[in-house]
Amino acid sequence: MDEKQEVVKKSKKHVGAIISWIIAILIIIIIGGVLYFHFSKPSAADALNSAAKTKINSVNSTIVLKQSKNNSETLTYQLKGDTIHLTNRFTPANKAQEQETWITGDKFYFLNNKKWNYMKRNTLTNTFIANSTATYKKLFTSHNFSKLSNSAKKKFNVNYDGLTGYTLTYQGNDKDVIKGIQKAISDSDTNDSSQIKNADVTIKINRHKELLDYKVLYTFTNGKESTVIHVTDINKVASLTLPKEVKNATEIATPNLR
**Do 225 and 177 share a structural domain?**
yes
pLDDT at 65: 94
**Do 218 and 144 share a structural domain?**
yes
CB atoms under 10 Å from CB of 239, counted, come to 8
- State how many domains the chain has: 2
Alpha-helical regions (H) of the chain: 2-40, 44-51, 126-141, 150-153, 175-186, 244-247
**Do 172 and 93 share a structural domain?**
yes
Say whether 136 sits in a helix, a strand or coil.
helix
**Angstrom distance (rounded) from CA 248 to CA 87:** 19
**Do 207 and 171 share a structural domain?**
yes
pLDDT at 115: 92
**Angstrom distance (rounded) from CA 257 to CA 251:** 14
pLDDT at 6: 57
Query: Which residue range(s) make up the domain with 7?
Result: 1-39
Per-residue pLDDT of the chain (258 residues; tens, 9 = 90+): 555 555 445 555 555 566 665 665 666 555 545 444 544 799 999 999 999 999 999 999 999 999 998 999 999 999 999 999 999 999 998 888 889 999 998 899 999 888 999 999 888 888 989 999 999 988 899 999 999 999 999 999 999 998 889 999 999 999 999 999 999 998 777 677 889 999 999 999 999 999 999 999 999 999 889 999 999 999 999 999 999 999 999 998 765 655
**Do 60 and 31 share a structural domain?**
no
**Angstrom distance (rounded) from CA 102 to CA 22:** 61
**Do 70 and 162 share a structural domain?**
yes
pLDDT at 88: 94
pLDDT at 39: 47
